[in-house]
Structure 1
Amino acid sequence: MHNYKELEIWKMSVAYCPKIYKATERFPEKERFGLISQLNRAVVSVPSNIAEGSAKSSDKHFLIFLENALGSCFEIETQLLVSLELGFLPQHDYDALSSDILIIIKRINNFMNFLSKNL
């Protein structure tokens, strides 16, 4: 088992959550149950899956939750692009948020590769 609070990927993904919440605060009210809700749920899902997976009895099981976290990262990446295309997100915010999620994706991938080698 891993202590999720010591994992850099968990720390980074927790720190990323308020950035998404702040960005979606500026979205149109009509998106409260659309993109706002989807982005906010997806961003919380990343550290939540990392934490939940860390409690599993094996790294093989942990990898499943890391894959789920990675899937949520790809959801966020897609939803940010849609938000940009719809004019809800300024380009500079999109660039910063996209850069951050790409770093998280790379770190999760690296950790998954590390765990896979040790199976």
Structure 2
Amino acid sequence: MSYQNFEDLEVWKKARALKIDIRKLTLTFPPEEKFRLCDQLVRSSRSVNSQLAEGHGRRTYPDRLRFCIIARGSLSETLNHLIDALDENYITETVLNEYKAKIAEVEKLLNGYIHYIEKKIDP
């Protein structure tokens, strides 16, 4: 595989789109959530991209793998915060399901990338 910039990774692109959608969603939350749930949602969704970029920059497969696993954890954290938003009646079940589908798409790509890296570590 020739060198790619992290911005070329399909998983990073999809995670970026999710992050942007999440930020727009948080703008609909009540003002008192600005430094609580909104902040947590934005941070966890941003972390997915940040971890992918940082791992990619390390340029070793074990480091990439470690950061991808952390990114997957941040993706799960994002889903948990969205469930919190549902529990607080800030979003509907329909909206949650839309975001679950987006998260599942990112997770599928991320798992594929993890599998690719694992094969590079232990062929």
Per the TM alignment, residue 26 of structure 1 is displaced from its structure 2 partner at its CA by 0.9
Aligned length: 119
Cα distance in 1 for partners of 2:49, 2:59 equals 18
Q: Secondary structure at the match of 1:48?
A: helix
1:53 is matched with which residue? 55
AA partner of residue 82 (structure 2): L
Contact 1:2–1:55, Cα closer than 8 Å, also in 2:
no
1:18 is matched with which residue? 20
AA partner of residue 62 (structure 1): R
Structure 1 unaligned residues grouped into runs of 5+: none
Cα distance in 2 for partners of 1:23, 1:12 equals 17
Structure 2 unaligned residues grouped into runs of 5+: none
Cα distance in 1 for partners of 2:34, 2:119 equals 42
Q: Secondary structure at the match of 2:12?
A: helix
| Structure 2 length-normalised TM | 0.91
Per the TM alignment, residue 2 of structure 1 is displaced from its structure 2 partner at its CA by 4.2
Structure 1 segments of 4+ aligned residues over 2 angstroms from their partners = none
Question: What is the RMSD of the two structures over their aligned residues, measured on CA atoms?
Answer: 1.2
After superposition, what is the alpha-carbon deviation per residue over 1:18-39, rounded to whole angstroms, capped at 9, x for unaligned? 2101111111111111110000
1:70 is matched with which residue? 72
Identity of aligned residues (%): 29
AA partner of residue 11 (structure 1): K
2:40 is matched with which residue? 38
Cα distance in 2 for partners of 1:18, 1:109 equals 21
Per the TM alignment, residue 17 of structure 1 is displaced from its structure 2 partner at its CA by 1.3
| Structure 1 length-normalised TM | 0.94
